[in-house]
Amino acid sequence: MKKAPFHLSLPCLSISKTKEFYVYLLGAHLGRFASHWLDIDLFGNQITFTKAGDFNFVFKTYKFENTLLPAFHFGVILDKGTWEKCYRRISESEVKHTEKTLFLENKSGEHTSFFVQDPNGHTVELKCFSEQEEMFKV
């Protein structure tokens, strides 16, 4: 199957803080923008953030293995080097994040993830598979 980048549109509280988080902290690229919206190239995927008033999502959780995870989140799957660079930058910053966690150890789909919250309250997962070809393997 041909890979196709995804597009996601989300509300944001501050264009400048959103830009700072994604471009300068995560290392994503800035795309088109205006005073009330911006496009972020998140490792080949387009996220459009539109300035909105107050908004609220109910952050329910679910348990995966022995870890409680946020049900409402989005993320990106990175190669090991890029993932490690992002984790190091986040760990050295003041941004709240989870510790890296290994999931499905010694099983198909083994991966390491961490979660970070952007300035708008959206939870972002950064994930790295031990074997990339096992991403969808049952």
pLDDT tens-digit profile of 9-68?
899 999 999 999 999 999 999 999 999 999 999 999 999 999 987 877 777 888 889 888
Percent of the chain with pLDDT strictly greater than 70: 97
Average pLDDT (63-91) is 91
Domains of the chain, earliest start first? 7-52+61-134 (3.10.180.10)
pTM beyond cutoff 0.85: no
Long-range CB contacts (< 8 A, 24+ apart) of 96-103?
A: 101/67, 103/64, 103/65, 103/67
> Of residues 102 and 3, which shows the higher confidence score?
102
Q: Which residues contact 104 (CB under 8 A, 6 or more apart)?
A: 65, 110, 111
Pairing of strands 61-64, 67-70: antiparallel
* Structure-token pair, residue 57: 């999502």
Residues 73 and 60 sit within 8 Å (Cβ to Cβ):
no
The reported pLDDT for the residue numbered 60 is 81
Secondary structure of 45-106 in HEC code, one letter for each residue: EEEEEEECCCCCCCCCEEEECCEEEECCCEEEECCHHHHHHHHHHHHHCCCCECCCEEECCC
Residue listed under structure tokens 């264009």:
15
